Structures are given as structure tokens and as C-alpha cells.
Structure 1
Amino acid sequence: MGLFNKLFGESDNKDTSSSRINWNALTSLQQLDDIIQESAEMPVIIFKHSTRCGISRMALSGFEKEYAIDTESAKPYFLDLLQHRDISNEIATIFHVQHQSPQILIIKDGVVVYHASHGDIDAGKVGEMV
């Protein structure tokens, strides 16, 4: 059962403190306005994650292992979809990107310039795009 729980998890929450990525928690709709403004200065990355989904957990784990973008090159945000589905819905509306889970978006100058989901989430590709 231990391996099963590691793959598919039994926790509802992501502990971002153990990640190599200095995630910024995306927890309010107001932050989307801030993200649009921030994206004029540097690319913003949003990782949308379902904390109860094994596929999402595997995509996140692989992304975090391969992530090599320095903090001056992009600002990464983490969205817990189970706690903040309203924010995910607003992201779909504002940025004209269909909701997926897991999903990664890169925003520059207030526009999504790249997005991928599931097995297409690739930290190397994200690094190229920022």
C-alpha cells in the first residue's frame, strides 16, 4: 500500500516547501490581476494541480525534478484545483484556455503564450518558452 500511496497520494494538500521550485500559492481571484501585471515584467508560470489525482501528481513530480528556471527569469504560481476551482474557471475565461488538470500555462504581457496538460507538461519546453 505504501507505493500506491506514494504514486496516487493520500494527502489533499501539496507541501510546496519541499519543492525545488519557489512556488507562489495562487489562492485568490485578485491575484489574477496581479499576474497579468507581473507578466509585463517577466513570464509567469501557473501550474494547475489536482491534489487527489495520481496523473496530476506524477506530472507535477516530473516537472519539479526537471525545473531549472532561475527566479529572475519567471515567476511560478501553484494552483490547488480542489481548493480553488473558481480561480481555474476564471483563468479559462480570462486567458481563453480550456480547463485541464494537470495543466501548465506561461503568461507574457497578459497573454497565454504556451499551455500544456497531462503528459505534455515538460519543464524543458517551459524553460525554452520563458
Structure 2
Amino acid sequence: MMMNGGGPLGIAAVSVAVCGLRRVPGLVRGGFAAADVDHQEREPRDMKQIASRQDVDDALGQDGAILFKYSMTCPISANARREMESFLERRPDAPVFKLDVHEAPEASEYVAEKTGLEHESPQVIIVRGGKPDWHATHFDVTASALEEQTA
């Protein structure tokens, strides 16, 4: 986060990285940005980690697989992680695979190449028959949407 000067009442304009890809202006009060996320937030449970092209191929080969691409530095991804947690509480046997786009950028780009879907983060892709059947990005990643699509 970069400070861009101060303002009245201790309010400073800042630039925050959203999903690690673009910079947008935000406001800080008392040292906390509205876009701050708890980076120590627990990892989504019961998700298999994708870290390589082979992991992507394995996930895409599993019918009904759900691929969840996210960033640990993005507040929108933090919201999507909470939605995924909620989904997994209701559907603990769902075959969910997680991919941190900063930790495994090659795997993330490979997902885009293999599925034909433009890279976004956060992003959820449901695979059926080895091909993407449904996907959602950003605030459209919700537990209820996943439940509806996997019913």
C-alpha cells in the first residue's frame, strides 16, 4: 500500500492493489484501508492445492471439479474465500481445487489456455466432461450460486 499524502482529520489517499493486478484509490482512517484484508485468514478447507500444469490437468480431468482461483492479497478474493468456505460447509464432499494466482502464475495462465476462459481473480470454474461448464468471477462467486450450479 502506498501513501499519497495526508488530508484533513488524518485521512490519507492511498493506492491499494486490487487482486494484485490493478491499482485503485482508497481512503485510510487511523491506518486501516477499507480494502485491507486479514492476510492471516485461514485457508479454505478441504480444497486440493493446484501448483503446476500437471495439477491443472488432473483437476480438469475430474468430472464435476470446481477450480477456485484467488489471490491472498485481494479483498475481493477474501470475500470469495469466505463464500467457498460457506459452500464447503454445506457440500464438504465437493471436489474443489484452489489455485493462488501469485504462487502459481504459470498454472493460472495454463487454466486460461486449457479452458478458453480469460484469466480473472477471483474466479470459479466448474468442469464437466473436461470442459468448463460454468464460471463466475469477483462478487459473483457465491456459495448460493455454486450450490445452484452443482445441485
| Structure 1 moving runs of 4+ over 4 Å | 1-7
How much does 1:3 deviate?
7.3
Q: Is 1:62 the equivalent of 2:86? A: no
TM-score (norm 1): 0.79
Compared with structure 1, are the counterparts of its residues 123 and 28 closer, same or farther at alpha carbon in structure 2 (3 Å cutoff)?
same
The residue type equivalent to 2:113 in the other structure is T
Q: 1:28 aligns with which of 33, 52, 61?
A: 52
How much does 1:119 deviate?
0.7
**What percentage of residue pairs aligned between the two structures are identical?**
26
Q: How much is the aligned-residue C-alpha RMSD, in angstroms?
A: 2.4
Contact 1:28 1:87 (8 Å CA) reproduced: yes
How much does 1:15 deviate?
4.2
TM-score (norm 2): 0.69
The structure with the greater share of residues assigned to helix is 1
Structure with bigger RCO (C-alpha 8 Å, 6+ apart): 1
Q: Is 1:79 the equivalent of 2:103? A: no
User: 1:121 — aligned with what?
Assistant: 141
Q: How many residues align?
A: 120
Gaps of at least 5 residues in structure 2 are 1-29
Q: Is the radius of gyration larger for structure 1 or structure 2?
A: 2
Q: Kindly provide the CA deviation profile for residues 57-116 of structure 1, in whole angstroms up to 9, marking residues without a partner as x.
A: 122113312442241xx3100111111011110111110101111111100110111111
User: 1:8 — aligned with what?
Assistant: 37
User: 1:51 — aligned with what?
Assistant: 72
Gaps of at least 5 residues in structure 1 are none
Compared with structure 1, are the counterparts of its residues 9 and 110 closer, same or farther at alpha carbon in structure 2 (3 Å cutoff)?
same
